[in-house]
Structure formats: structure tokens, C-alpha cells
Structure 1
Amino acid sequence: MTPGARLAAAAQILDEVLAGSPAERTLTNWARGARYAGSKDRAAVRDLVYDALRRRRSLAWVGGAGTGRGLLLGLLRLAGTDPASLMTGEGHALPPPTPEETGRALSDAPEAVRLDLPDWLLPRFQAALGDGLEPACAALAARGPVTLRANLARTTRDEAQARLLAEGIETHPDPEVPTALRVTAGATRVAQSRAYAEGLVELQDASSQAAVLRLPLRDGDRVLDHCAGGGGKTLAMGALKRLTLAAHDADARRMADLPARADRAGLKVDLAADPARAAPYDLVLVDAPCSGSGTWRRGPDAKWRLSPDDLDRLCALQDRILDEAAPLVAPTGHLAYATCSILPEEGDDRVAAFLARHPGWTPVDRFVARPDDRGDGFFQIILRRAGPGR
């Protein structure tokens, strides 16, 4: 495919996404039908689509329209590329820009447009981020880093880095998270590498790794990952201490790959359909379903789909899950509540509401990460349960 044809394909996909189709599914369907597109073409089109969705409002302003074509016009202009050089109308390229498609200067845009936020979310982001509002929004408008977790149960970070380098994968150790390696070259080789196949490394964002390292884990503890999903945090906990691990998810299909991943990592994990049967646990981790606002650069269409009613429903779900998880914790045990959100409604507000409903719990640790070039946005608070007679 020529660069102009890639641009045209991205515009078509974007129009479907803007009409309500999920981005990932739309890209997959296009790739299945576009047998003429090689792997490099598919990757380039995917990058165009996600780059446009991350900056949907600002690109529409600069491009002159909230269509796939308009977003790509804005993307090219802000990159300093003359759209007419790729939109030639020749072959499979889009038609040339018209005099009506001049767009507007981004400096003239309202704040929510410049920061690529829905209007209703701007005050919430301002309250959560304060002076960090613009840097966080800039991070969410850029591609996220690819980060690996060294499995310390099987290797050291230095050894994992050397093994990866031998396979053409260059990494940089995170200066603050001792398990994290940021991939700087060769990211597409990770999944096929021997280091990955042998369980020496797993894909995991640095903020998530940092949160796991703060958990009160001791050898012999019984630990439940209550909203396990794919089990990334289950495996991260198991790499730190000798634990009896259980994982549960309301949709067990999300854990389908966890047994194979655990075997690769040298761990045993019980998939608990009813975690109450094996309660109590020394630690219950609730990484609750949320807006994902701290990770929107990885799934940017979610930012534009979220509504105030959706947020209210998520908060009610988070309350319900916490209420279900709390009785599973042993006396003097810990309950960790986490979300990949930077919205206070899904973080401190939920913890305050929980403490009002459940006396006898004490906050012992709070961790907040804002999205930046090292990691995603994340929230975690650890609560300790009072012992008998207290």
C-alpha cells in the first residue's frame, strides 16, 4: 500500500469507529478483508487510527471536520505535513483538500478541545490533576510505552535485559520500579522471544508493577486476586513471595489464558469460581472495573464513549464489589482497592464511601500515578482489617 492508500484506509475505519463501532474490532475486520495489506501496512493503518482517536477533538478542530478525513487532515497538519502531498486523488488515495477544509488554529480552541477531553470530563480532570492537567493530557494523547516485568522468581532484571538484547530487543531499566524494563527497540519481537516463552518477562505497565510492589505480601500468605482479568497482577504477586494464589473474575473467560501463563511463570494459581469457599484470605486485591481513564491512550475510543451515567454505573459496581470482597479478608488482613483511573469518583471517593459503610478498616498505604512517558495513570489504596475484639 502507498502512504496515500494507508491514509484512505484509516479514514474509512475511523468513520466506522466514529459511528459507534469498537476500534479494535473494526481494525480486525478490515485486516481480514484487506488481503492486499501486508503486516507493515496493517501496523501503519492501526497507528494512524489510534493516533487520530487519541486526539480526536483537537484534530477535528485543525482538520475542519469530525470525520475520519477531517481527523487525518488535522493529524497531517499538526505533524507539519502538507495534506495535498498524500491526498492526491490518484490510485487509492483520498481526494485533495478543498478550500472549505482549511480548519482552525489549535491555539484558538477551547481548553477541552486542546486537551482532547469531552467537555463534561474537563472539570473532573482539573480537580484530580491540578497543575498536572496539561502534562497528563499530553501523555494520554501520545502512544504509551511498552513495558515488561522481569519475573524475579526466575531471573534478575539485569539477566532478563541481557536475554532480551540477545534476541534484538532493547530495553531500559525503570529508575523507580525495580522490576520494570521499558522496551526501546524490537517491541514486536517480544511475544515470539524465548525470554517471554520461558516466563522470564511479562508485559505489564510500570505503574501496575509499582502498585503490586507496595502490597503487604509475606511468604505463606493466602492471596485472592478478586477481579483478575488476564491475571497480570496475580503473576506479579506470585513472583515476589511464596504465596497460595487464587484468582477470580465475574467473567471467567477473561482468565482463559491464566493457567498457561502461570505455568510459564512457574506458578500455581487456583481459578476460584466461588472465592468465598476458600476464605478468609490474608490479602484480597480488588482491581475493579473502571473507566480506564489512566490508560485511554491504549484504548482511546473508550474516552469518547464514556458518559456521566456510565461513570455512575461504574461507581455503583465498584461499591458492590468492595462490599463482596471485604468479608473475604481475615482479621488483621488487608484489602487493596485499585483502578486504572485518575478520576476521584473511582478512587478516593469510593474508598471514603466504603469506610462509611464498613467501620473497622484502616488505610495504611495510598499510591497514585499520573499518566506520563513512563507509565499509565493508576490508583491504589490498601486497607487493614481490625482484629478480633476491636
Structure 2
Amino acid sequence: MRLPGRLSAAIEVLNDVEARKRPVSEALKAWGLGNRFAGAGDRAAIGNLVYDALRRRASHAFIMGDDSARALVLAVAVLDWHNTPETLNAAFADDAHAPAQLSDAEIARLQTDPTTAPDHIRADMPEWLVPSLQRAFGPNWVAEGQAMAGRPSLDMRVNALKSNRDRVLKNLKRFDAVQTQFSPNGVTIPPGERDSRTPNVTTDEGYLKGWFEVQDQGSQIVAALAGARPGNQVLDLCAGAGGKTLALAADMTNKGQIFAYDSDRNRLAPIYDRLKRNGARNVQVRAPLDGALDDLVGKMDRVVVDAPCTGTGTWRRRPDTKWKLTPELLATRQAEQSAILDDAARFVKPGGTLIYITCSILPEENDDQTTAFLARQPQFVVADIAPLWQSSLAAPMSPELPSVAGGIILTPRRTATDGFYFAALTRAE
């Protein structure tokens, strides 16, 4: 497929997303199944167009004066992929699969000065979240939003139980992989531009042998800050598919015990194969049954709560969810987080630590939850993260990271990672 056909396909996918109210990943998969003539390069390019359109949906719609799929895709083609309207129109004229040529009005709109847009549009953020973002980031909130609208890198965590970073870097040299800035076991492939393809590293020999796992560097950072050490007793209370469980097992060198639990059996299902591939032998998976964790009350050195959240920190990867978030969904997640934190507290032994993590950038899910928990549970205090960072990570902690309540916030702008919140809450002896 040539660019005109790819642009038409991206418009079709975006229209499908809007009409059927389904996730972008499902719409892209459905398009691929219905158009089997399209090669891997075509599918990658169409996916890039769709995701780029959604990442900057607000600012592109402002420039075009229109939020239709056509307007968004044309804005990406010109403003992000740096095609000229004249080049596009010439290509469209010779391609039966092309969209209609750009009109004079559309060409004129593409000259709109983006700096004249309201701040929430320049930040590509829903307007109702502005007070939250201002609380979280102060005068830098627009820049934080703009960084959140970029493409993410592909990050991997080297599994120290089976390999080392030099070996993995050599194995992935063909993808221009480099070491991460903060995670001592991290490897990253920078995001490409335009129609570049993200490599499928899960088919690589090293992955199949358990040498590395796909994991955003931000997730690696908060797992390292959890401070799990050989011989510890650790409860991963919201283990899900086990990404952080695997990182904890490696940090503990398979010594001690990790109890991996999740209230949703389906989320937990992939963990078994991942544990086997990674050679993680100190993990005991606890199924979500009544009383499944009763024997752990008051005995854990670390209780890790990777809480259910709005996922605002992952908007680079799932930009469609940015425009679907509602105050009602945020309130639901807040209630869930409060309940999980209170439940987690009972497993922490005196002198132990409760680790609170979200992949959110909103203070309602982060500092507000930490502050409210400490008010309800006065036997806990906020631990100083600076020594944890210094002992666990490969580069100094920026003074910009600490939050008001004693946690830290990672973001694409600050750390070139997804958005994460981390707080360590220690129980009195």
C-alpha cells in the first residue's frame, strides 16, 4: 500500500472506533483480518497514523476546526509526518484508494498557529482534568501533557536470574537497543517516526529463553524502589499478569518468598508460564479464594499494591482511553484504592513497608490516597525515597520527582517513562 491508501485505512479505523465504541486495538485487528492483502509494514503504518491522531486529538482538531477522522488523519500526515498538502494532493490524484484531495479550506486550516489554542488543548488533555493536572505539576502541566502525547519507547527488563544486560544488548543490537537511564537492568528501543515498525521482541530467542521481559522503565523503577531483598517475605497483592512479581523475584535472587495474588483470576492466568520462562522459583501464586491470604496477616516485610487506577500514565500507549475517562470512573477507582490500601495494611509486619503504586498522574489517585491512608492508619509513616533510589537505581533522582505527600511521580517529560506514582509507607515497630 502507498501512503494515500494507508491514510484512507486509518480514517476507516477511526470511524469504526467512533461508531462501535470499541478499543483501537480491536478496530485495528478487525481491519487487518478484513484486509489480508495488507502487509506487516502497512498494518504498522496504519496503526501509527491512528495512534498519532488520538494522542494529539485535541490540538489537531483545534488546528483543523474539525474533529472528524479525516481531519485528524490529514493533520497527522502534514503536521507530524511532515508531508506537504501539495505533495499529498498530487499523490491522491494518482491513487484510486486515496481520500478526497485536501480542500483550500483544509489547507488554510493547517496553517493555524497552535499556540493560540487554550492550554488544555495545547496539552492534549480533557478540560475537566485541568485542576488535577495543575495540582500535580504546577506551571509545567501543559508541558507534561505535551510529553504524554508523544510516542513511547519499547522497554525491556533484563532477567538477572538468567542473563545480563550486555548479553541482551548484543542479542537486540539489530534493533538499535540501548541501556536505560535509570533502571540498572533496563534496555530500550527508542520510538521511531512516521511509518516505522516497532519490533516484536517477544518472538526473539532471548525472550523465549527468559533473558528479558517487556516492561516500561517506569514500571522497572517502581519495582526496584520496592526494596525487596533476598530472604524477604513479600506479598504482591495486585499481581495481575506478574510483571512486577518477576522483577521482585530477580531482585531477591530467588531467595525468600513472594506471594502473588490478584482478585481477578483471569488477570492472574498468564503468570504461570511467565514464572516458568523466567526461572522464578520463589513465587507462590495464591488463587482468589476466601481466606487465601489469612496465614500472611502481620508477617510480610513488603506488601506491594499496584492498585487499579485510571491508567492516565499509559496514555502514550492507549490514547483512546484519554478521551473516555470520566469523573465517575475516577471516583470508582478512588474507592477501590482506599479499600485495597486498608486491606493491605493488615499484612504488613511491624517495621515492614507497604508499597503503593499506580500508573496514574492524577493526585486524586496518588498523594490524596497516601494522605488519607496515613490519617486512617496512624501506625504508618512515609519513608524517605531518596536512599531507596540511591541504592537501587543507576542515575540520580531529579529534585522534580518528589510529590507533596512524600511519594514520587514519574512521567514521560521527567523520566522518559510512562506515568507512575510510588510511595513507601512503613509500619512502626
- TM-score w.r.t. the length of structure 2 is 0.85
Give the equivalent residue in structure 2 for 1:190: 201
Is this contact kept in 2: 1:288–1:338, CA < 8 A? Answer: yes
Distance 2:91 2:213 in 1: 39
How far 1:111 sits from its partner (Å)? 1.3
Give the equivalent residue in structure 1 for 2:242: 231
* SS of alignment partner, residue 60 of structure 2: helix
Query: Is residue 2:102 matched to residue 1:97?
Result: yes
Please point out which of 302, 306, 319 is paired with 1:300: 319
Per-residue CA deviation, residues 1-45 of structure 1 (Å, 9 max, x unaligned), is: 221111111111112223422111111111111112111111111
What amino acid is aligned across from residue 344 of structure 1 in structure 2? P
Is this contact kept in 2: 1:155–1:200, CA < 8 A? Answer: yes
Give the equivalent residue in structure 2 for 1:279: 296
Q: How many positions carry a matched residue from both structures?
A: 385
Question: Do the aligned partners of residues 135 and 172 (structure 1) sit closer, same or farther apart at CA in structure 2, a change above 3 Å counting?
Answer: farther
Give the equivalent residue in structure 2 for 1:264: 277
How far 1:187 sits from its partner (Å)? 4.8
Please point out which of 334, 340, 360 is paired with 2:379: 360
Give the equivalent residue in structure 2 for 1:158: 166
What amino acid is aligned across from residue 313 of structure 1 in structure 2? T
Query: Is residue 2:421 matched to residue 1:379?
Result: yes
* SS of alignment partner, residue 325 of structure 1: helix
Question: Do the aligned partners of residues 141 and 193 (structure 1) sit closer, same or farther apart at CA in structure 2, a change above 3 Å counting?
Answer: same
Query: Is residue 2:225 matched to residue 1:214?
Result: yes
1:248-259 correspondence to structure 2 within 5 Å: 248-259=261-272
* SS of alignment partner, residue 96 of structure 2: coil
Distance 1:86 1:284 in 2: 58
How far 1:170 sits from its partner (Å)? 2.6
Deviation larger for 373-382 or 184-193: 184-193
How far 1:87 sits from its partner (Å)? 4.3
Per-residue CA deviation, residues 77-99 of structure 1 (Å, 9 max, x unaligned), is: 31332142454484111111234
* SS of alignment partner, residue 345 of structure 1: coil
Is this contact kept in 2: 1:224–1:247, CA < 8 A? Answer: yes
What amino acid is aligned across from residue 113 of structure 1 in structure 2? I
What amino acid is aligned across from residue 51 of structure 1 in structure 2? D
Question: Do the aligned partners of residues 189 and 17 (structure 1) sit closer, same or farther apart at CA in structure 2, a change above 3 Å counting?
Answer: closer
Is this contact kept in 2: 1:125–1:133, CA < 8 A? Answer: yes
* SS of alignment partner, residue 149 of structure 1: strand
How far 1:249 sits from its partner (Å)? 1.6
* SS of alignment partner, residue 66 of structure 1: coil
* SS of alignment partner, residue 188 of structure 1: coil
* SS of alignment partner, residue 375 of structure 1: coil
Give the equivalent residue in structure 1 for 2:136: 128
Question: Do the aligned partners of residues 187 and 17 (structure 1) sit closer, same or farther apart at CA in structure 2, a change above 3 Å counting?
Answer: closer
* SS of alignment partner, residue 37 of structure 2: coil
Give the equivalent residue in structure 2 for 1:84: 89
Distance 1:357 1:84 in 2: 63
Query: Is residue 2:124 matched to residue 1:112?
Result: no
* SS of alignment partner, residue 320 of structure 1: helix
Distance 1:111 1:11 in 2: 27
Give the equivalent residue in structure 2 for 1:342: 361
Give the equivalent residue in structure 2 for 1:51: 52
Distance 2:256 2:26 in 1: 37
Question: Do the aligned partners of residues 376 and 140 (structure 1) sit closer, same or farther apart at CA in structure 2, a change above 3 Å counting?
Answer: same
How far 1:287 sits from its partner (Å)? 0.5
Give the equivalent residue in structure 2 for 1:23: 24
Give the gaps of 5 or more residues in structure 2: 386-406
Distance 1:39 1:299 in 2: 21
Per-residue CA deviation, residues 351-386 of structure 1 (Å, 9 max, x unaligned), is: 111111112111113332122373111111011122
Question: Do the aligned partners of residues 284 and 239 (structure 1) sit closer, same or farther apart at CA in structure 2, a change above 3 Å counting?
Answer: same
Per-residue CA deviation, residues 25-75 of structure 1 (Å, 9 max, x unaligned), is: 111111111112111111111111000000001111222311110101221
Query: Is residue 2:167 matched to residue 1:148?
Result: no
How far 1:189 sits from its partner (Å)? 4.4
Deviation larger for 228-237 or 119-128: 119-128
Per-residue CA deviation, residues 136-159 of structure 1 (Å, 9 max, x unaligned), is: 222211110111111122222223
Give the gaps of 5 or more residues in structure 1: none
* SS of alignment partner, residue 97 of structure 2: coil
- TM-score w.r.t. the length of structure 1 is 0.93
Give the equivalent residue in structure 2 for 1:369: 410
Query: Is residue 2:349 matched to residue 1:325?
Result: no
What amino acid is aligned across from residue 347 of structure 2 in structure 1? L
Distance 1:43 1:321 in 2: 39
Q: CA RMSD in A?
A: 1.9
Per-residue CA deviation, residues 244-299 of structure 1 (Å, 9 max, x unaligned), is: 12212222111222111111111133221244234132211111111111110100
How far 1:240 sits from its partner (Å)? 0.7
Per-residue CA deviation, residues 193-212 of structure 1 (Å, 9 max, x unaligned), is: 11111111111111111111
Question: Do the aligned partners of residues 70 and 187 (structure 1) sit closer, same or farther apart at CA in structure 2, a change above 3 Å counting?
Answer: closer
* SS of alignment partner, residue 346 of structure 1: coil
* SS of alignment partner, residue 172 of structure 2: helix
Question: Do the aligned partners of residues 153 and 96 (structure 1) sit closer, same or farther apart at CA in structure 2, a change above 3 Å counting?
Answer: same
